[in-house]
C-alpha cells in the first residue's frame, strides 16, 4: 500500500503529498516502507497534541514547490521555526504566516543581498519563489518541530527520510550542488556521493548566536561550480 493513500487524520491530501515525479523516485526506497508508516503515525500523534509546526498542509511543501526533474542545487537547513509568523528558510515567508520575518530569514536575505548585490536590492521575495523556480530545492533536516523541548526526537524520526531524499537526488542528478547550512545539515555529508558537489556555510541562526553577520558567499561558490558545469546560463540568479 502506498503511503500517499494512508490517512492518519493529519488532514493532508496524501494524493498531493508531493509532486508526482518525487513520488515516483521515492516510492520504493521511502514512501512504501514501514519506516514511512511509522513516521506518519508519529506525526499523527504529535499533531493531535498541538504546538506542532509548520501547519499540517505545509509539512511536505518543499516537495510541491520544486519539481524533482528541475533540481540542480539543494539548500539543506535546520528545522521549521516554532511560530506561525515566519517558518524558516525552506518555507520562506508568505501571507499564511503573516509579515513578521524571523531574525534568521532576515539574515539570510541580507546575506544574499551583500553577496550578490553589494548590499542593495530593491526587493527580495521572502518566499524565494524566483530562486526555487530555477531548480533550487530548499529542505530542512527535519520537516517538523514542536514547542515542547524535544528537538532531537523530531530530528531522529526525520533522519532516515532526509538521508533517503539526499541519496535519491545523488543517484538521479549527477553534478548537483549541495549547500549545507550549519552543523546539522553538514552531518549529512557522508550521503552525498557520486559527481556531486558540497558547499558548507554557517546557518543564519549560528551567525546570530555568535553575533556575526551571516556570510552568504556560498551563492558565489555555488554559481562558480554551476558555471563550470553548464556555462553562464546555468548560474542561479539569487
At residue 9, the pLDDT reads 52
Q: What is the CATH number of the domain that holds 105?
A: 3.40.470.10
Rounded Cα distance between 12 and 4, Å, is: 10
At residue 82, the pLDDT reads 60
Q: What are phi and psi of 74, to 5 degrees?
A: -120, 130
Residue 139's domain comprises 65-234
Asked whether residue 77 is assigned to any structural domain, the reply reads yes
Asked whether residue 94 is assigned to any structural domain, the reply reads yes
Residue 198 pairs in a beta bridge with: 178
What does the block give as the cell for 151?
528537538
**Overall size of the chain counted in residues:** 238
Q: Note the pLDDT tens digit of each residue in 55-94.
A: 888 889 899 889 999 999 999 998 776 654 444 566 655 5
Q: What are phi and psi of 237, to 5 degrees?
A: -90, 100
Q: What band does 16 get if pLDDT is binned at 50, 70 and 90?
A: low
At residue 98, the pLDDT reads 52
User: What's the total number of domains in the chain?
Assistant: 1
Asked whether residue 226 is assigned to any structural domain, the reply reads yes
C-alpha angle 82-3-85 in degrees, rounded to nearest 5? 15
Residue 179 pairs in a beta bridge with: 75, 199
Asked whether residue 115 is assigned to any structural domain, the reply reads yes
Mean pLDDT across 202-223: 94
DSSP H helical ranges for 76-217: 103-117, 129-132, 151-172, 183-186, 204-209
Mean pLDDT across 112-132: 84
Element (H, E) at 177: strand 177-181
Rounded Cα distance between 19 and 52, Å, is: 24
Q: What band does 49 get if pLDDT is binned at 50, 70 and 90?
A: confident
Mean pLDDT across 183-205: 96
56 torsion bin: left (phi>0), alpha (psi -120 to 50), beta (else) = alpha
Task: Give the three-state DSSP class for 210.
Answer: coil
Average pLDDT, the chain: 85
Q: What is the DSSP string of 95-118?
A: GGG-S---HHHHHHHHHHHHHHHT
Asked whether residue 72 is assigned to any structural domain, the reply reads yes
Cα within 13 Å of Cα(193), Cβ side = 9
Asked whether residue 159 is assigned to any structural domain, the reply reads yes
- Highest mean pLDDT: which range of 48-57, 113-122, 202-211: 202-211
Q: What band does 5 get if pLDDT is binned at 50, 70 and 90?
A: very low
At residue 187, the pLDDT reads 97
Identify which has the larger pLDDT, 174 or 105: 174
At residue 92, the pLDDT reads 57
Cα within 13 Å of Cα(194), Cβ side = 14
Asked whether residue 12 is assigned to any structural domain, the reply reads no
Q: Note the pLDDT tens digit of each residue in 33-47.
A: 999 999 999 999 888
Q: What band does 18 get if pLDDT is binned at 50, 70 and 90?
A: confident
Q: Note the pLDDT tens digit of each residue in 154-182.
A: 788 999 999 999 999 999 999 999 999 99
Mean pLDDT across 179-194: 96
Q: Note the pLDDT tens digit of each residue in 221-231.
A: 999 999 999 99
Q: Work out the burial of residue 64: count CB atoms within 10 Å of its CB; fewer than 13 is exposed, 13-18 middle, 19 or more buried.
A: middle
At residue 216, the pLDDT reads 96
Q: State yes or no: pLDDT of 14 exceeds 50.
A: no
Q: State yes or no: pLDDT of 99 exceeds 50.
A: yes
Asked whether residue 82 is assigned to any structural domain, the reply reads yes
Amino acid at each position: 500500500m502506498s503511503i500517499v493513500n494512508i490517512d492518519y487524520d493529519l488532514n493532508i491530501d496524501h494524493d498531493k503529498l508531493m509532486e508526482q515525479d518525487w513520488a515516483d523516485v521515492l516510492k520504493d526506497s521511502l514512501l512504501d516502507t514501514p519506516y514511512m508508516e511509522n513516521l506518519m503515525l508519529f506525526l499523527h500523534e504529535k499533531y493531535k497534541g498541538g504546538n506542532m509546526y509548520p501547519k499540517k498542509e505545509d509539512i511536505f511543501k518543499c516537495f510541491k514547490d520544486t519539481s524533482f526533474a528541475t533540481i540542480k542545487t539543494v539548500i539543506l537547513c535546520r528545522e521549521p521555526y516554532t511560530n506561525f509568523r515566519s517558518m524558516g528558510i525552506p518555507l520562506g515567508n508568505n501571507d499564511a504566516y503573516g509579515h513578521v520575518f524571523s531574525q534568521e530569514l532576515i539574515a539570510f536575505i541580507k546575506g544574499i543581498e551583500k553577496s550578490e548585490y553589494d548590499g542593495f536590492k530593491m526587493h527580495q521575495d521572502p518566499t524565494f519563489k524566483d530562486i526555487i523556480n530555477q531548480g533550487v530545492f530548499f529542505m530542512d533536516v527535519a520537516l517538523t518541530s514542536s514547542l515542547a523541548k524535544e528537538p532531537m526526537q523530531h530530528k531522529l524520526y526525520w533522519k532516515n527520510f532526509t538521508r533517503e531524499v539526499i541519496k535519491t537526488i545523488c543517484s538521479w542528478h549527477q553534478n548537483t550542488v549541495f549547500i549545507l547550512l550549519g552543523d546539522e545539515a553538514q552531518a549529512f555529508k557522508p550521503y552525498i556521493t557520486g559527481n556531486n558537489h558540497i558547499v558548507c556555510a554557517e546557518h543564519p541562526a549560528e551567525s546570530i548566536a555568535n553575533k556575526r553577520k551571516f556570510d552568504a558567499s556560498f551563492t558565489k561558490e555555488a554559481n562558480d561550480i554551476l558555471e563550470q558545469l553548464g556555462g553562464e546560463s546555468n548560474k542561479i540568479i539569487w
